[in-house]
A = this chain, B = another copy of it.
Amino acid sequence: MKEVEHKFLVRSDEYRALARKSTRITQGFLNTHPERTVRVRIKGREGFLTVKGLSNESGTSRFEWEKEISENEAAALLNLCEPGVIDKTRYEVLHEGHCYEVDEFHGENEGLIIAEIELEEEGQVFSKPSWLGKEVTGITRYYNSMLSNHPFKKWSEKEQDDG
């Protein structure tokens, strides 16, 4: 029920050739309040409802609860979500025993690419592939719940370059 993860920008598209899988993801939010986000997701043909709590100070750890639901249920719930549905393609890339999930955003967030690694516990050692860029863990504008209301294309040049 607790998720530990690190987020990075990416330097190059090498991850594509290394991916073992890519899946289209559509998701919206029933709530984007940072203390209790409620996410509806269709991933491939599967549906999920996910509740996340507040992050710790460094942004690496967060309460997370997820339930699988049917694609139809998820589609019905997506209709109820706040405006700003997110559309992205997720590449799964194995690197020295860990799986990086690389999200290429579409639509209003086109141009943004984020890699995430999920760990079993705080402080666990992991290796960074050469295509990985700057770490952006804990920077709230990269949260999907924020991208929904304030998409990448509307960021200032400074915000875009800071990545």
Within 8 A of B (CB), among A39-92: 49, 51, 53, 63, 65, 67, 69, 73, 76-77, 80-82
Q: Say whether A136 faces chain B, with CB atoms less than 8 Å apart.
A: no
A81 and chain B: residue at smallest CB distance: B36
Copies held by the complex: 2
Which of B30, B53, B63, B65 interacts with A51 by CB under 8 Å?
A: B30
A30 to B37, CA, bound (A): 8
Count residues of A near B (Cβ-Cβ below 8 Å). 20
Chain B contacts for A106, CB-based, 8 A: none
Cβ of A63: which chain B residues have Cβ within 8 Å of it? 76, 80
Residues of A within 8 A of B (CB): 1, 30-31, 33, 35-36, 38, 49, 51, 53, 63, 65, 67, 69, 73, 76-77, 80-82
Residues of B within 8 A of A30 (CB): 30-31, 36, 38, 51
Which B residue's beta carbon lies closest to that of A73?
A: B65
**Contact status of A35 and B80, CB under 8 A, knowing A30-B51, A67-B67, A67-B69:** yes
